[in-house]
Amino acid sequence: MVNALSRHIACFPDRTFISAVFRARPDTIRVPKPASIDLLILPSIVGAPDQPMKTPKRIQPLVDEGLVDMVIRQLMSGKEATVYVVRCGEDIRCAKVYKEANERSFKQASMYQEGRKVKNSRQARAMEKGTRYGRKMQEEVWQNAEVDALYRLAAAGVRVPKPYICFEGVLLMDLVTDAAGNAAPRLNDVTLTEDTARKYHAQLLHEVVLMLCAGIIHGDLSEYNILVDGEGPVIIDLPQAIDAAGNSGAGPMLVRDVDNLATFFSQYAPQLAATQYGKEIWALYQAGLLRPDTALTGRIAADKRPADVGAVMREIQLARKEEEERRQYQAQL
């Protein structure tokens, strides 16, 4: 087991956990249960059947290494991965199995890759040339980006699932549940009152600010990438997370994420539709004034400067480059 896991040590930003893996079985790690919530819930996983479902091929290596004892059921399938409910000793967790690049509808667009650094020069050259080895490295970078983001955000106090290990393209992490052990619903599946909508919107704005203060932007934040447990929203799905300081498209992506939240919550609280929290947060960040406890107003002074034609042209060129890369990638399949 030690030899197999050591090949994947790059998946562990938290070095403390690495030693824990080698010292003990996964079932020695306990996950606290969140509080109860009176919302729409998915089928129960409490008292899961003793007879497991057939182990998916991609999860079998984790079973062989003793990281997973049983695959209980499939939880969901999305554009980038399939998630399974698994048993690890006495704990119930989830295993996120990343789909192969040619099976994903969410492509690894150049706008998300910008700013990600690869320390190994050979790997960087292979990725730039698009060789078979380079494409394999791109897959590992894509998957490890989520693991790294989860550790960084959890350390910053952001409500995200706790990751345990990324092994053979499978991310093992907390299953977000209610007190009864039922899988937490997506925000999109929850009916809200106006007061609750305003409360959750404010909580998520705070999460976005915490993320940005940690240097990370989700990049695809919406009601479909947020779960709701007993304490409120939990942000998930972060393989496309971007470096706020190293990506030239960071500002527009941050604004888009926040606008997505306003669009969803304005169904229940119409006054949120006219807010400009995204632009306000980004302006404060650029000015070096953004702090986790910064008070937000949702308003921003009108920009009367002349239009930046150069910036518009750069966006067009970036879009063309992305489309060219997509076609080249498809041609290589």
Tokens linked to 155: 């350390």
Over residues 207-233, mean pLDDT: 95
Over residues 35-51, mean pLDDT: 41
d(CA 76, CA 78): 7
- Lowest-confidence range among 7-11, 60-64, 205-209, 210-214? 7-11
Stronger pLDDT, 55 or 178, i.e. the higher one: 55
Over residues 175-179, mean pLDDT: 83
The residue type found at 111 is: M
d(CA 121, CA 295): 43
pLDDT computed for residue 24 by the predictor? 36
- Lowest-confidence range among 260-269, 281-290, 304-313? 304-313
Residue 231 CB-half CA count within 13 A: 11
111-137 pLDDT per residue, tens: 555 555 555 566 555 555 566 665 666
Residue 5 has pLDDT above 60, yes or no: no
Kindly state the greatest CA–CA separation across the chain: 67
Q: How confident is the model at residue 177 (pLDDT cuts 50, 70, 90)?
A: confident
pLDDT computed for residue 114 by the predictor? 56
What helix, strand, coil percent values describe the chain, rounded to 5?
45, 15, 40
What does the chain come to in residues?
A: 333
Residue 267 has pLDDT above 50, yes or no: yes
φ, ψ dihedrals at 173, nearest 5°: -150, 175
Look over the chain and give the mean of its residue pLDDT values, rounded to a whole number.
79
